[in-house]
């Protein structure tokens, strides 16, 4: 039975949480394979809003086992606060599995994230300040703390002391802040051990056994293609592998098991934080998208930068992820526009580029080439079949589908769980 990967096609906040929740009802496992509580997924069920950061969106489906894979970085305080929040609302969280190989966001890495951003000044990345970058850097530097370390006090102490040996020098001498005491860090991490223990598992093995037993596994990305550490707009990216390849390394499921890759594409573009964004709008249209789409971050509350849909980015997402199906979200937000521009290519120094330019400097000064499609006025939020959509909305979807090069299998027409048009089954 298949493993299905779900990724963001743009710069995040495409509506991955809603799509995962929708599929979560019919899959047995939902695995978060990258990132941490930098993610923010809003899911609306029967008018009730749930904001998830660290937990896989499958946690809201009673029959689904949510898994935090080895590729995730975990802030344990946030994990338990999020679980408590859901328990208080009557959600059963008892099935959660956490990889023993996942890394833990130590408190000093939250501090380092913030002071590094301050130090960078106008060259800052605009991170979420959650300690994501420094924790992945520790992982690569082989001085990270893993979930399993919390169950071996002596190893934990040695690792924290080793990490702090250098970090305290940097904190005190470079950033002029207070050094961190190893004892306090160890104490804090150990305080979570008892509650964490029953959740910890060899998740890679459990997932393989589940696949062998004919179960469906959905691998849910945080962030998105252009925020991927390798394939995104580096250095204005997150520090993990948010593309389909990362689903395998971040979960321990081999590529040969993956049968489908679903990418979520917002009907326009948004970005939070710094970095290039060719179709960004600074005018009333941008404000219209922000207001109508309620484009304010789930995690930091920052207003999101908004622009028209960019099919060069969409095509790139298709290529990098091997997308088999797209879900276009938030088509309803475009209702009421006279013309809806679609970026089909870039003009870079007078040369037309239909593919993502390999040089970041070129991408920085790419001018979008637009095709202007006719808009529609009818409220589409109650449409449940493609044929019910106004002709111009249909034409918009079909043109975007042609340009991004993979079929559009579902279309979001509102935030609610039921506000979706399925053209092709996402699970079969």
By CB under 6 A, residue 74 contacts ligand GDP: no
Cα–Cα distance, 20 to 260 (Å, whole number)? 14
By CB under 5 A, residue 40 contacts Mg ion: yes
Residue 128 binds which of Mg ion, ligand GDP, ligand IMO, none (CB < 5-8 A, kind-dependent): ligand IMO
Which of 28, 32, 41, 228 is an active site residue?
Answer: 41
Contact string (CB under 6 A) for ligand GDP, positions 279-308, x = contact: -------------------x----------
By CB under 6 A, residue 14 contacts ligand GDP: yes
Could you tell me the two tokens for 403? 């340009």
**CB–CB of 32/232 below 8 Å?**
no
Bridge partners of 67?
Answer: 31, 97
Name the DSSP letter for residue 386.
G
By CB under 6 A, residue 252 contacts ligand GDP: no
**CB–CB of 89/60 below 8 Å?**
no
**CB–CB of 147/101 below 8 Å?**
yes
Using CB under 6 A, which of 116, 127, 233, 269 touches ligand IMO?
127
Placement of tokens 């223990």 in the chain: 197
**Among this protein's residues, is 13 annotated catalytic?**
yes
Which residue's beta carbon is nearest to the bound ligand IMO? 273
- State which H helix or E strand residue 201 sits in: strand 200-201
Cα–Cα distance, 159 to 157 (Å, whole number)? 5
Helices (DSSP H) in 25-96: which residue ranges? 76-88
Q: Is 297 annotated as a binding residue?
A: no
Q: Is 292 annotated as a binding residue?
A: no
Of residues 111 and 335, the one with the C-beta less far from ligand IMO: 111
Name the DSSP letter for residue 280.
B
Smallest distance, Å, CB 39 to Mg ion? 6
Which of 32, 139, 159, 167 is an active site residue?
Answer: 139
Placement of tokens 């020098």 in the chain: 169
Smallest distance, Å, CB 73 to ligand GDP? 17
Binding site for Mg ion (CB under 5 A): 13, 40, 298
Binding site for ligand GDP (CB under 6 A): 8, 12-18, 39-42, 44, 298, 329-330, 332-333, 412-415
């Amino acid at each position: 039975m298949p493993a299905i990967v779900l990724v963001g096609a743009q710069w995040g906040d495409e509506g991955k949480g809603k799509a995962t929740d929708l599929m979560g009802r019919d899959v047995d496992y939902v695995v978060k394979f990258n990132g941490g509580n930098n993610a923010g997924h809003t899911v609306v069920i029967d008018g009730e809003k749930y904001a998830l950061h660290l937990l896989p969106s499958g946690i809201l489906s009673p029959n689904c086992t949510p898994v935090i894979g080895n590729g995730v970085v975990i802030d344990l305080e946030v994990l338990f606060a999020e679980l408590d929040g859901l328990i208080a609302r009557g959600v059963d969280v008892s099935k959660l599995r956490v990889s023993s190989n996942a890394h833990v966001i130590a408190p000093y890495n939250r501090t380092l994230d913030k002071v590094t951003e301050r130090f960078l000044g106008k060259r800052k990345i605009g991170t979420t300040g959650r300690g994501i970058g420094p924790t992945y850097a520790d992982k690569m530097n082989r001085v990270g703390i893993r979930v399993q370390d919390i169950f071996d006090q002596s190893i934990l102490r040695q690792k924290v002391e080793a990490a702090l040996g250098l970090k305290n020098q940097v904190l005190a001498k470079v950033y002029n802040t207070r050094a961190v005491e190893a004892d306090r860090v160890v104490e804090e991490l150990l305080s979570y051990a008892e509650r964490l223990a029953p959740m910890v598992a060899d998740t890679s093995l459990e997932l393989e056994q589940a696949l062998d037993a004919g179960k469906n596994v959905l691998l849910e990305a945080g962030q998105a293609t252009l925020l991927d550490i390798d394939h995104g707009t580096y250095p204005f990216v997150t520090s993990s592998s948010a593309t389909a390849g990362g689903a395998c390394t971040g979960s321990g499921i081999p590529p040969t098991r993956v049968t489908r890759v679903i990418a979520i594409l917002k009907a326009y573009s948004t970005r939070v934080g710094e970095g290039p964004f060719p179709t960004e709008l600074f005018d009333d249209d941008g404000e219209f998208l922000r207001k109508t789409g309620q484009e304010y971050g789930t995690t930091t509350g920052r207003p999101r930068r908004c622009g028209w849909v960019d099919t060069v980015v969409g095509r790139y997402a298709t290529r990098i992820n091997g997308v088999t199906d797209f879900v276009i979200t938030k088509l309803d937000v475009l209702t009421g526009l006279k013309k809806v521009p679609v970026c089909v290519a870039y003009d870079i120094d007078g040369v037309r580029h239909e593919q993502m330019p390999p040089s970041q400097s070129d991408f920085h000064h790419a001018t979008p080439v637009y095709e202007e499609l006719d808009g529609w006025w009818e409220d589409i939020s109650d449409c449940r079949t493609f044929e019910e959509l106004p002709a111009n909305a249909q034409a918009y979807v079909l043109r975007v589908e042609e340009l991004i090069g993979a079929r559009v299998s579902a279309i979001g027409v509102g935030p609610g769980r039921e506000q979706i048009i399925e053209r092709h089954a996402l699970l079969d």
